[in-house]
Amino acid sequence: MAFPSTTNVDGSNPGPNVSTQPDTTQAATGNIWKQGLFLLTITPALVAANTTVEQSFANTGIGLVVGDFIEVNKPSAQAGLGVVNTRVSAADTLAITFVNATGSGITPTAETYQVYVVRPQPNWVKPASGNQMDW
């Protein structure tokens, strides 16, 4: 199988249809620099009835930086409980906002969550004109 042509971050081009991809590739368009899917075992605290609360989990070992885009998958369902937001609140600290839509407190299950991290290109600047996706 041939791979599409790519351009290295340093601007060099390994050529079209190379059989392996270099370690430092960047998408031909867009501003994503790095991305990864990680497993993280966390033990959330009680979420009070009819409320939304952000809980922080430090020292994840992932190497998160403020500005990373984060998506979290809680592997099990719990009636009335949802994950409504995720972010990096400080270096290597994952913040997850839980909502409890019931009349009783719920403790989210301690389990291994999937954490999807997308890191934008650090030197990306919005184009002066035109669509941001077309640069």
CATH level 3 topology of 30-121? Elongation Factor Tu (Ef-tu); domain 3 (2.40.30)
Mean pLDDT check: name the lowest of 21-30, 51-60, 94-103.
Answer: 21-30
Q: What pLDDT does residue 83 have?
A: 98
Q: What pLDDT does residue 1 have?
A: 45
Domain chopping of the chain, boundaries: 30-121
Burial 35-58 (b: 16+ CB within 10 A, else e): eeeeeeebebeebeeeeeeebebe
Mean pLDDT for the stretch of residues 104-121? 95
- Tens digits of per-residue pLDDT, 72-97? 999 999 999 999 999 999 999 999 99
